[in-house]
Structure 1
């Protein structure tokens, strides 16, 4: 595997040492943004099989099921900005082994400030599992199963019809999809689900935030629970319905209604 050079930026920082001010060369670190990278890196990885696991430690991710993507190929574009005043230069790496795409960023030292973003284009017909330690995740276009888990960041899925499993430790979850099976959970944030097809199962949970579900016209078996907040269910209900909807939050409002 060819190892591509890391992308580095230095920073100028004023440090007080024994009453004196020492300048470390570069520019002042003040909030790196990957979007400022005007020359992103691009690479194509071979994919064996019909599943892909994206393993990222600290990056915003955009994942797209692309019609034009050739079978067996995963296209990745990477934006990166970073600076470390005192310490090792920041580094970003990417690699593929079997069906696992691993994305890593090393950024530590005095006044370390780094930001990374990846766009991953996946062929149609591939099941995708995302594991992101810290960063928002956006996905669209999936007809097969999609699982997203991030420790800290929002999750947003659109234009998809395959089964969804969405989880964030801290952030909102938003899905506007035709999926018939949706599981969505956040530790701290709101959940908003808008479904274009009558689902078989919706299981949504927030430990601290509102839960809103908009459904097509049908009769549903609905279970709701909130520790502190109001509940508003306006869809037709029946305990014998095969369309099961659960909405729970420890602190927030629960709304289950008909989509416009």
Structure 2
């Protein structure tokens, strides 16, 4: 696919006319699955890593136990007519910045990144547009997405998850504190151990929370949807569950 895109660009450069967007080039869609992976390692000072991405699918995973550097694998595919197509990665301080640079009369670009995080680093992810998946992060994790789903597996630290347009699906191994907010998309949270606090707030979508069976102080409500609470309730309990939706069902279920 990349080679075909390059042939199209070279051919267009020979034409002495004006290239009109949508003139047939849109049939050659960019896909990161067609691209060869590129690897690079970065040194990050301190105990925190921020990943700042604009248009990319992100996978954040725990690195091997003895790894001390952040390893990034990138898949990028794209073409541009009357401009340029490329991607960049850079670290400044504790921030890893991932960008696509695609400009022209007609462009088609796509990227995905896998970031391997050394154990012991807490992580903040800021993504403008794209799905975010995090696996095996044992430290505190914050993920915010403007447009895309957020998926978390085997988390061990405090979670703060938000998306303006997308679902949130988190399954934790030992997180004591979980916060999830979505404006448009379902929220599904499951705690592997008894949490101290879970708070899920949704503007437009369902909320489901699965927790170990024990008494909780529960605050659950929905303006337009059913509310189903299956865990023991105790207003004096130290452990709290908050589940609210403006437009969608709310369900709190026990397991174990």
TM-score (norm 1): 0.88
- Structure 2 residue aligned with 1:101, among 81, 96, 102? 96
- Cα distance in 2 for partners of 1:140, 1:241 equals 31
Are 1:147 and 2:132 an aligned pair? no
Match status 1:33 vs 2:31: yes
Question: In 2, distance between residues paired with 1:99 and 1:45?
Answer: 10
CA deviation map 1:158-200 (0-9, x unaligned): 0111000001110000001031100001110000001111000
CA contact (8 A) 2:83 2:105 kept: no
- In the TM superposition, what are the counterparts of 1:65-80 in structure 2 within 5 Å? 65-68=62-65, 70-71=67-68, 73-80=69-76
Quote the Cα distance in structure 1 between the aligned partners of 2:208 and 2:148: 19
1:236 to 218, 232, 236: 232
- Alpha carbons 1:172, 1:191 under 8 Å: kept: yes
Maintained 8 Å contact 2:19/2:105 = no
Preserved CA contact (<8 Å) 2:72 2:114: yes
Q: What is the Cα deviation at residue 28 of structure 1?
A: 5.1
Q: Return the TM-score normalized by structure 2.
A: 0.89
Q: What is the aligned partner in structure 2 of residue 121 from structure 1?
A: 116
Alpha-carbon RMSD across the aligned residues, in angstroms, is 2.5
Determine whether 1:47 maps to 2:44. yes
2:222 maps to which residue? 226
Distance in 1 separating the partners of 2:202 and 2:29 = 30
* Between structures 1 and 2, the one with greater helix share: 2
**Structure 1 237/55 Cα, relative in aligned 2: closer, same or farther at 3 Å?**
same
Contact 1:207 1:251 in 2 (8 A): yes
Structure 1 distance, partners of 2:218, 2:66, is: 40
1:174 aligns with 2:169: yes
In the TM superposition, what is the alpha-carbon distance from 1:21 to its structure 2 partner? Answer: 10
Aligned to 2:83: 88
Which of residues 180, 189, 196 is equivalent to 1:193? 189
Aligned residue pairs: how many?
246
